[in-house]
Amino acid sequence: MPNPDQERWSRVKERLRTVVGENVFSSWFARMELESSEGDTIKLSVPTRFLKSWVQSHYAEKLLECWQSEQSTVGRIELTVRSAVIRTLPPKVKPVETLPVRSEFRDTRGFGEPRMPSTPISAVHEALGGSPLDPRLTFDSFVVGRSNTLAHAAAKQVSQAHAGDAVMFNPLYIHAGVGLGKTHLLQSIAWAGNAGAERKVLYLTAERFMYSFVSALRTQNALVFKDTLRTIDVLVIDDLQFLQGKSTQQEFCHTLNALIDAGRQVVIAADRPPSDLETLDERVRSRLAGGLVVEMGVLGEELRLEILKARVAAAKHHHPGFDVPLQVLGFIAKIVTHNGRDLEGALNRLLANSKLNGQPITLEMAEREVRDLIRPQEPRRVKIEEIQRIVARQYNVSRADLLSSRRTANVVRPRQVAMYLGKTLTLRSLPEIGRRFGGRDHTTVLHAVRKIEHLVGNDNALAEEIETLKRQLQE
Ligand code: ADP
Ligand code: MG
How would you class 3 by CB atoms within 10 Å of its CB: exposed for 0-12, middle for 13-18, buried for 19 or more? exposed
What residue owns the CA closest to ligand 1's atom 5?
A: 181
What residue owns the CA closest to ligand 1's atom 27?
A: 181
Q: Which residues pair with 291 in a beta bridge?
A: none
pLDDT score recorded for residue 113? 40
Angle formed at CA 188 by CA 293 and CA 374, multiple of 5 degrees: 80
Cβ 345 under 6 angstroms from ligand 1 = no
CB count in 10 Å sphere of residue 426 = 19
pLDDT score recorded for residue 455? 92
Cβ 110 under 6 angstroms from ligand 1 = no
Angle formed at CA 160 by CA 155 and CA 161, multiple of 5 degrees: 105
Instruction: Please tell me the distance from the alpha carbon of residue 472 to that of residue 388, in angstroms, as a whole number.
Output: 12
Per-residue pLDDT of the chain (475 residues; tens, 9 = 90+): 468 888 899 999 988 888 888 777 877 788 888 989 888 999 999 877 767 877 887 888 899 999 998 898 999 999 988 764 333 333 333 333 222 333 333 333 444 444 444 567 777 787 778 888 998 899 999 999 999 999 999 999 999 988 777 788 899 999 999 899 999 999 999 999 888 778 889 999 998 888 888 888 888 888 888 888 888 899 999 999 988 888 888 889 988 998 998 889 999 999 999 988 888 888 889 999 999 999 998 898 899 999 999 999 988 888 888 889 999 999 999 888 768 888 988 888 888 888 888 888 898 888 888 877 765 555 567 889 999 999 999 999 999 999 999 999 899 999 999 999 999 998 888 999 999 999 999 999 999 999 999 998 888 889 989 999 998 887 7
How would you class 114 by CB atoms within 10 Å of its CB: exposed for 0-12, middle for 13-18, buried for 19 or more? middle
Closest listed ligand to the CA of 310? 1
Cβ 240 under 6 angstroms from ligand 1 = no
Cβ 148 under 6 angstroms from ligand 1 = yes
Instruction: Please tell me the distance from the alpha carbon of residue 383 to that of residue 422, in angstroms, as a whole number.
Output: 8
| Shortest-distance atom of ligand 1 to CA 340 | 12
Instruction: Please tell me the distance from the alpha carbon of residue 174 to that of residue 157, in angstroms, as a whole number.
Output: 14
CB count in 10 Å sphere of residue 281 = 14
Query: In angstroms, how far is CA 15 from the centroid of its own chain?
Result: 20
pLDDT score recorded for residue 380? 65
Contact 93, 117 (CB under 8 A): yes
pLDDT score recorded for residue 416? 96
Instruction: Please tell me the distance from the alpha carbon of residue 225 to that of residue 215, in angstroms, as a whole number.
Output: 10
What residue owns the CA closest to ligand 1's atom 25?
A: 142
Instruction: Please tell me the distance from the alpha carbon of residue 238 to that of residue 131, in angstroms, as a whole number.
Output: 10
Task: Calculate how far, in angstroms, residue 207's C-alpha sits from the geometric centre of ligand 2.
Answer: 12
Nearest CA among 236, 182, 240 for reference residue 207:
240
pLDDT score recorded for residue 111? 46
Task: Calculate how far, in angstroms, residue 181's C-alpha sits from the geometric centre of ligand 2.
Answer: 7
pLDDT score recorded for residue 384? 93
pLDDT score recorded for residue 50? 66
For β-strands 201-205 and 234-238, DSSP reports them as: parallel
Q: Which residues pair with 311 in a beta bridge?
A: none
